[in-house]
Amino acid sequence: MRCIEENYTKNSSLFITSIRELLISRSLYETNEYRQRDYLFDDVPGADGDKWQRELFADTFMDCALLPIIIEKNTNPKLPDTIEDGQQRYNTLVAISKGCVRLPSDMGKYGSQYKHLSNRSLPELAKLETELYENFLDKKVLLLVCEDTPEERKSKNFIGWNNGTPLTKQEKRGAQYSHGSHYLHNLTKTLKISTIETRKNKRKFSFLKDNFPVTGKTLEEIIAFWYDSHLAGKIQSMNQSSLERRYKQFQVDGIKTPSNIAKSNKNFEKRVSLVDNSVFTYVNLSKKNRDFFGKRQVRFFFSVIQTLLNNKYKVDQKTIARDYEVALAKLSEENHLWTDPKKFTKKTNKPVQIFWDDLFNKRADEAHQIEYVVNKIVETIVSGNKNYVKRDTRRSFTRKQKLLGHTQQDGNCFYCGEPVEFSQAVGDHKIAHSKGGKTELENCRIVCPKCNEEKGSNSEHEHITVLELRRKEKSEPAEA
C-alpha cells in the first residue's frame, strides 16, 4: 500500500493498493457495524452471485474506477482498522476471489475480445486465462485512511459520503453516535426473527422488501417505532418525522444511557423478547406461516401484545401469533368501512372513510389510526377466546383476607380438613390467578402448606378429586 497524498483532508491520507494486496491484508480490517447495513449477500462458491456483485466484477474487470474504501485507523496497533464505508465493495471483492461471483453472461457487449467470457463454463475468476486473472488482481483500489476522527464526525462523514446513494433514512439515523442508536442496533442483532429465512432470497436487499426476512435496518426501524411508543407511554405515529424527533433526543442524551431510561429498557426488552419468541416459534411450525409475517404484520404485533399485557391479559407466546393471524383473517374477511375522525376530504370536508384492508396494509401510520387498528385486533383476539382472561393486578391475599378465611373455615385446611396454624396458612385461589381468578375473599381458600404444594396449578375440582381417590384407596382393604 503506497501513500499518494498525505493530509488529503484534515486527519486523512489517500493510499493506493491493489486488489491482490487488499485480499492478502484483509485480516487487518473489520467493518464498523454501527455505521453500515449488514453485508447483503450470501456468498456461495460456484454460484453466480447477486446482479450487483456481477456488475461490480465486470466494472472492475473493464478498468472502471471503484469508489475509495474509507478506513479509520485504530489507535491501538494490535487491533484491526475499521472500514467506515465501502464494506459491500470490499466483501464482494473477497467473494469474487473465492469463486462466489461470476462475470455477467453478456460480457460480449464490452467488446469482441471479451465475447468468449460469455461462455458460462469460464466465468469464475480462477477459471480465467492467466493474463486476465493476474490483471484483475493487479487492479488499483483507493483507500482513504482517517485518523483520530471524532465519533460524531464519523457519522456525518458517512452520510456525506453516501449522499445520492440509496441509503434508507434509518441507515442515516442508525449511523449516529448515541446511546439510543447503539442500543437499538445491538438489540436488533440479538433477535431470532432477524435470521428467519423464506423461500425467497435470504438476506439480499431485504431493506427493500416487505416479506420476511425483515432484517437489518428495516427491522431496526420497526423496533425504533416500538421503542418510541414505549418511552412515550402511548402509541406513537409510525412515520419518519416521529423517528427523526426521537433520534434527535438520542443525540441530546449523548452516548451514555440516561438512568431513568436504563430501567425502562428492561421492561421493553421483555416485551420485544415475547414478540421475537412467538414469531420465531410460529414461523418455524410451517413454511406457510412464514409467508404471513411481513413488514406490516410485524409492525403492529408489538403494539397488540403491549395492549393485551397493559389490559392485564395473559399472553401465551406459543399461541399468540396464530391468534393474531386468525384475528387479521377475520377482520380482512369482514373488511368493514371505518370513518377516520381526524381525516377529512378536501372537496367536501367530510370525514374520510377507509376499508379495513386498506387501513391495515397502507394507511394506518398515524397514532390515532394505529390505536384503532390495534384495539380492533385485540378485541377480535379476546372475543370468545377462553384462553384470554384478565388477571387481577394483585396476586397475594392480604392478612385481613386470610384471617377472615381462616375464621370461616374454623382454622382447618379447606382440602384435607386438618387444623392449620394461622402463621402457616396459605391463601389459595379457588379460580387460579393465572386463569383470571381475582384476589378477593370470595375466591380465597385457606390451605395448609402441603396441600398448597400438591395442588400446584390444578383447579380446585381436580385437587379435590385427587384427594378423594387417595381416601378411597386407604379405606379399601388390601388384597390377600
Sorted by where each begins, the domain ranges of the chain are: 2-163, 208-382, 399-475
pLDDT band, residue 198 (cuts 50/70/90): very low
- 471: pLDDT strictly greater than 90: no
Give the residue-averaged pLDDT of 223-247: 95
pLDDT tens-place string over residues 399-445:
898 999 999 999 999 988 899 999 999 998 888 777 777 888 888 99
pLDDT band, residue 201 (cuts 50/70/90): very low
Average confidence score pLDDT of the chain:
87
> Looking at residue 214, what is its pLDDT?
63
Fold adopted by 399-475: DNA Binding (I), subunit A (1.10.30)
Instruction: Name residues whose C-beta falls within 8 Å of residue 35's C-beta, 6 or more positions apart in sequence.
Output: 84, 85, 154, 155, 158, 175
pTM: 0.71
Return the higher-pLDDT residue of 121 and 7.
Answer: 7
